[in-house]
Amino acid sequence: MNGSAAIDWGHAALVMPGQTSSGDRCVIAIADGTALIAVIDGIGHGEEAAAAANAAALVLETSPNESLRTLFDRCHARLRTTRGAAMTVARFESHGRTLDWLGTGNIKAVLLRRSPQGFTCTDLLTYSGVVGAQVTQAAKRAASKTEVTPGDVLILATDGIDRKFIDAIRYDEAPQTQAERLLASFRSPADDALVLVARFGR
């Protein structure tokens, strides 16, 4: 389990059977009440997919305070010599209690909230395309934004996780425990798989 005043998070991942390198990566960078959260899925699997994911992760890790639009542009330029990647990047601002995000490709992103009726699970809008391999719709868009409240849960999953995982999300489960449970229950043996769960500060 990993935590700070702003966010509590966990992730779980498995490499595709028969491979030694994963094309799925996540990045978390936390400072001064701000958290940059990203999941990257290099196209395909194996060493070339890992090279694409690692290249994008390096951009995000070295410049976490840049705008999401700038980070996407830099990743797009950096990944042109690779297979490319699907990627969703989000930024949580604890002071303003806002979540910004921008995504392209098949990373599934959902936000679980408590409501008077119980809980609501919202799909976060992402766009088609591949970072580095083609001009993406996300390259033409501004980041989306929403307000979040303490306890809201963000889940990002690569396409190695069956989309039925959404029906098994739990609001009060510890992020690391939830990530491990969802991976164990919904991973595909035909691809790398990664789940990241982040719960915003209470």
- CATH assignment of the domain containing 21: 3.60.40.10
Residue 176: the pLDDT is: 97
How many structural domains compose the chain? Answer: 1
> Which of 50, 71, 42 minimizes the C-alpha distance to 158?
42
Residues 167-195: pLDDT tens digits?
999 999 999 999 999 999 999 999 999 99
Decide which of 125 and 179 is more confident. 179
Please give the residue range of the domain that contains residue 168: 2-200
Report DSSP state, residue 139: G
Residue 8: the pLDDT is: 93
> Which of 96, 18, 89, 85 minimizes the C-alpha distance to 53?
85
The model's confidence at residue 3, banded by pLDDT at 50, 70 and 90, is very low
- Residue 1 pLDDT exceeds 50: no
Mean pLDDT of all residues in 20-31:
94
Residue 129: the pLDDT is: 87
